[in-house]
Chain A
């Protein structure tokens, strides 16, 4: 245990990294070198800092969305404030985890688990909210479209899931290759399970970046949820523009591809990145369209807040793009050892 004291190891590893990089390399070569390093870090799960930051950023994004979505609901229950608090906390934890390994191993998983629990509670209340609307679940389409967005709490959970994964990862400056990794921080709760021995189990897979399958599954689920949201909100709008069909087509495609990728390495390496890139592009274009849609509403920029709230949801396409990003990540990661 004492041998894994984080401070010493970090120093040693930093020195090792510097040795790899040749001094006075030309810019392009340095770029290539950096890319290769980043690639290796991702494959080996040495990107805790960046994944934590990504989790934090996507949490901030969902936080903004839930802020105005719950504002639409008048914050009619006090519990509707919890996703605000937790998304802010998760965003802050993401940043903290980027800076501090200690935060990455303590704060980040704690807040992530709390958020996941809140997502479950939110999902329950949203299902119940639809049931309490006139007609309840007997009018599923109308009431899902006009009631609380039923899958939004689950989508909100994606960033918490990323945060949780990040807490298991190694940092790019953590101890060398090949060694059997223990939780680097002595306070990590996983110690309670590993008892100082390092069985080859899912935690190790995670730490070594061997969770391409899981990531693909996350991408599949979030694309499906996001696609469903796109379907019903564009359906609500009667598909006024042909382009509104694109996320509805791409999302299931991406979802299925990612699902197959959990089984097939070939699909994970060939099909998934293409579809994922398509989703990222589509989400980005959708974001632009949604911003344009907000500005073209009655009152336009002069009723900006109102139009953001009731116009096309401007963050929704970004969340779809995020699922594409997960797909890309999944395609880069190693897979669980057989």
Chain B
């Protein structure tokens, strides 16, 4: 049987723009007139910008959200092919250096509506309560200006909005349950569960991942095809493109795709008055706004702030602390690969589907602070070949030979917390992009605690792979998940934004993405970025018009707006069980 009975699957027709096989965008999208002042301009429609835009629009604000990349029509634009997914990633130039330079490309930020959430593997663990106080607890890094309990209601909201599939009892950090059931395991998850269980290490199977295990409204459930990080054509994996942007449009937000914001413009009063951007044809245009929110990723956010330097802010906007671009963090992301006698076929099932956070917290018996997680990954052939190139030094006939064993290998990702350091930073390079804007130059190196943590965690991951039954285990060094570079803090001398994302220097300029994270834990940051964005939105909504005119800084936490979730959030999935952790309500 070579073709389905009704012939090959044809291209969709009729629908002008499809964000999924059965999902439809609200039409028409509102468009603001050229030069018409809006309440908010949001720069970047990714994890942070997508959630923020949706909430601001739902609360009745006039919002334009810019993205440098396209507004994806997933049925027509995306392919079920590793090489063909190249355009999902931020492919514009960045210069990377330092003792341990980071690799970019497919590794991190996205370009297009949905940002990196279109190609994340969508592991969505929460941070632990201890992550917010690592300086107080362990004397390393810095404390957050907010506590876990400030973020917890937003974790709960976002876990329901995406929604997140995971175990009925998640034992680490603040124990909790998930609204959707865990996913079935693939071969890699089997190996992780077997390895951990054999060593007596706790492990959870089937999540937490923002992938539907049961269909919800206009999104089908996962079909286990394994192309998560090539863009989920199924619409099962959550991305703000399909979870929050449609609702933003339904509530009157304009998404201005293929528009690269080049500068934030200040007025004579020292307040942001809008942004200068390059329209799809490359023409420079100005968009006035009463307030500006930057949500462009830990590289492009500091780059935009630095590129917006002007009289009075010669070192870049909001950079009186000299912290813009500093304290950039990546997580150690070593990949440990094991060869098994029996075939594994790790290309099946989502790469993200089982993990352990048993080593997450600081252990006084170890010679380093903080910890790490071990997760499943599922490299497709090209990624696997690259790993064999570095992990085994394979080339030539050896590469051909080991690649013929592709189906026998399983891969784990070690995810370790690296501590913030001022020397790890984003600066501007001499080189310019196609718009004439200086590109970012990233400098990164590991410090003592980082190296000890990596050495320990790498070995532990290798042990688990061995305990799972692998005959041969190799590993390659990698990094993942960039955050920081515009960190939040209470002290304007050592941080860029306050606990709500408002820059210390400019009253109506906000940052709302992973760059505001002062430390990173060893949890994948996507969920935390979204939770921070939802909290930032509640703050902006509670403050109302005073954001646009006043310089008064209200540090009162806003009420949690549970009524701003996208439709189809309520009435789907399992009820939330009470938090196992006994804490006072956040307010």
Whether A and B touch directly in their complex, counting CB atoms under 8 A apart, is answered as yes
Query: Chain A's nearest CB lies how many Å from the CB of B23?
Result: 11
B223 at the interface (CB under 8 A from A): yes
Residues of B521-572 contacting chain A, CB below 8 A:
571-572
B438 at the interface (CB under 8 A from A): no
Residues of A12-71 contacting chain B, CB below 8 A:
71
A176 at the interface (CB under 8 A from B): no
Contact indicator A133/B165 (Cβ below 8 Å): no
Cβ contacts under 8 Å, B212 to chain A: 74, 76
CA–CA, A298 to B193, complex, Å?
Answer: 6
From B22, B216, B223, B573, residue with most partner A Cβ within 10 Å: B223
Contact indicator A134/B182 (Cβ below 8 Å): no
A266 at the interface (CB under 8 A from B): no
B14 at the interface (CB under 8 A from A): no
A195 at the interface (CB under 8 A from B): no
Contact indicator A146/B224 (Cβ below 8 Å): yes
Cβ contacts under 8 Å, B574 to chain A: 71, 74-75
CA–CA, A71 to B168, complex, Å?
Answer: 10
Cβ contacts under 8 Å, A149 to chain B: none
CA–CA, A133 to B574, complex, Å?
Answer: 22
Contact indicator A139/B197 (Cβ below 8 Å): no
A303 partner, pick from B197, B215, B233, B571, beta carbons under 8 A: B197
A132 at the interface (CB under 8 A from B): yes
CA–CA, A310 to B184, complex, Å?
Answer: 6
A120 at the interface (CB under 8 A from B): no
Contact indicator B216/A76 (Cβ below 8 Å): yes
B77 at the interface (CB under 8 A from A): no
Write the chain A residue with the least CB distance to B22.
Answer: A132
Write the chain B residue with the least CB distance to A302.
Answer: B197
CA–CA, A303 to B189, complex, Å?
Answer: 13
- Given A299-B197, A303-B197, A310-B185, the answer on whether A77 and B572 have CB atoms closer than 8 Å is yes
Cβ contacts under 8 Å, A310 to chain B: 182, 184-185, 205-206
Chain B residues bordering chain A, tally (CB within 8 A): 40
Write the chain A residue with the least CB distance to B196.
Answer: A299
Residues of A265-300 contacting chain B, CB below 8 A:
297-300
Please report whether the interface of chain B is mostly helix, strand, loop or mixed according to DSSP: loop
Contact indicator A298/B197 (Cβ below 8 Å): yes
From B182, B216, B221, residue with most partner A Cβ within 10 Å: B221
CA–CA, A129 to B181, complex, Å?
Answer: 17
A103 at the interface (CB under 8 A from B): no
A124 at the interface (CB under 8 A from B): no
Cβ contacts under 8 Å, B163 to chain A: 74
Query: Chain A's nearest CB lies how many Å from the CB of B221?
Result: 7
CA–CA, A71 to B234, complex, Å?
Answer: 21
Cβ contacts under 8 Å, B233 to chain A: 134
CA–CA, A78 to B182, complex, Å?
Answer: 19
Query: Chain B's nearest CB lies how many Å from the CB of A72?
Result: 5
Write the chain B residue with the least CB distance to A133.
Answer: B220
- Given A72-B214, A299-B203, the answer on whether A134 and B572 have CB atoms closer than 8 Å is no
Contact indicator B185/A74 (Cβ below 8 Å): no
Contact indicator B234/A134 (Cβ below 8 Å): yes
Contact indicator A306/B5 (Cβ below 8 Å): no
Residues of B150-187 contacting chain A, CB below 8 A:
163, 165, 167-168, 179-182, 184-185
Cβ contacts under 8 Å, B214 to chain A: 72-76
Contact indicator B216/A134 (Cβ below 8 Å): no
Query: Chain A's nearest CB lies how many Å from the CB of B340?
Result: 13
Contact indicator A74/B213 (Cβ below 8 Å): yes
B194 at the interface (CB under 8 A from A): yes
Contact indicator B190/A309 (Cβ below 8 Å): no
Cβ contacts under 8 Å, A306 to chain B: 167, 182, 205-206
Contact indicator B4/A298 (Cβ below 8 Å): no
Cβ contacts under 8 Å, A76 to chain B: 180, 212, 214-216, 221, 572-573
Contact indicator B216/A74 (Cβ below 8 Å): yes
B193 partner, pick from A78, A139, A303, A309, beta carbons under 8 A: A303
Contact indicator A138/B21 (Cβ below 8 Å): no
Query: Chain A's nearest CB lies how many Å from the CB of B439?
Result: 39
Contact indicator A134/B197 (Cβ below 8 Å): no
CA–CA, A25 to B184, complex, Å?
Answer: 59
Question: What 1/0 mask marks residues of chain B from 366 to 388 whose CB sits below 8 Å from any chain A CB?
Answer: 00000000000000000000000
Contact indicator B573/A299 (Cβ below 8 Å): no
B179 partner, pick from A72, A74, A132, beta carbons under 8 A: A74
Write the chain A residue with the least CB distance to B224.
Answer: A146
B397 at the interface (CB under 8 A from A): no
Residues of A126-141 contacting chain B, CB below 8 A:
129, 132-135, 138-139
Cβ contacts under 8 Å, B190 to chain A: 297-298
CA–CA, A222 to B278, complex, Å?
Answer: 66
CA–CA, A41 to B185, complex, Å?
Answer: 50
Contact indicator B181/A71 (Cβ below 8 Å): yes
Cβ contacts under 8 Å, A305 to chain B: 168
Contact indicator A73/B220 (Cβ below 8 Å): no
Cβ contacts under 8 Å, B191 to chain A: 298
- Given A72-B181, A298-B193, the answer on whether A134 and B21 have CB atoms closer than 8 Å is yes
CA–CA, A309 to B361, complex, Å?
Answer: 30
CA–CA, A78 to B179, complex, Å?
Answer: 13
B33 at the interface (CB under 8 A from A): no
CA–CA, A75 to B393, complex, Å?
Answer: 48
Query: Chain A's nearest CB lies how many Å from the CB of B12?
Result: 12
- Given A73-B221, A129-B215, A138-B5, the answer on whether A300 and B197 have CB atoms closer than 8 Å is yes
B6 at the interface (CB under 8 A from A): yes
Cβ contacts under 8 Å, A146 to chain B: 223-224
Residues of B343-377 contacting chain A, CB below 8 A:
none
Write the chain A residue with the least CB distance to B573.
Answer: A74
Cβ contacts under 8 Å, B216 to chain A: 74, 76
From A139, A146, A297, A303, residue with most partner B Cβ within 10 Å: A303
Question: What 1/0 mask marks residues of chain B from 225 to 248 whose CB sits below 8 Å from any chain A CB?
Answer: 000000001100000000000000
Write the chain A residue with the least CB distance to B572.
Answer: A76
Cβ contacts under 8 Å, A78 to chain B: 571
Write the chain A residue with the least CB distance to B163.
Answer: A74
Contact indicator A309/B194 (Cβ below 8 Å): no
Query: Chain A's nearest CB lies how many Å from the CB of B63?
Result: 30
Cβ contacts under 8 Å, A297 to chain B: 190
A299 partner, pick from B179, B205, B234, beta carbons under 8 A: B205
Question: What 1/0 mask marks residues of chain A from 71 to 98 whose CB sits below 8 Å from any chain B CB?
Answer: 1111111100000000000000000000
Query: Chain B's nearest CB lies how many Å from the CB of A322?
Result: 26
Query: Chain B's nearest CB lies how many Å from the CB of A149?
Result: 13
Write the chain A residue with the least CB distance to B179.
Answer: A74
Query: Chain B's nearest CB lies how many Å from the CB of A281?
Result: 30
CA–CA, A302 to B200, complex, Å?
Answer: 10
CA–CA, A128 to B221, complex, Å?
Answer: 13
Q: 20 A-B Cβ contacts within 8 A?
A: A72-B213, A74-B163, A74-B212, A74-B213, A75-B572, A76-B215, A129-B215, A132-B22, A133-B215, A133-B223, A135-B9, A138-B4, A138-B5, A298-B205, A299-B194, A303-B193, A303-B205, A305-B168, A309-B181, A310-B184
List B residues at the A interface (Cβ < 8 Å). Answer: 4-6, 9, 21-22, 163, 165, 167-168, 179-182, 184-185, 189-191, 193-194, 197, 203, 205-206, 212-216, 220-221, 223-224, 233-234, 571-574
Going nearest first, the 10 A-B pairs with the smallest beta carbon separation are A73-B214, A74-B214, A74-B180, A76-B214, A298-B194, A298-B193, A298-B190, A299-B193, A310-B184, A299-B197
Other A-B contacts than A74-B216, A135-B4, 4 sampled, CB-CB below 8 A, are A76-B212, A77-B572, A300-B197, A306-B206
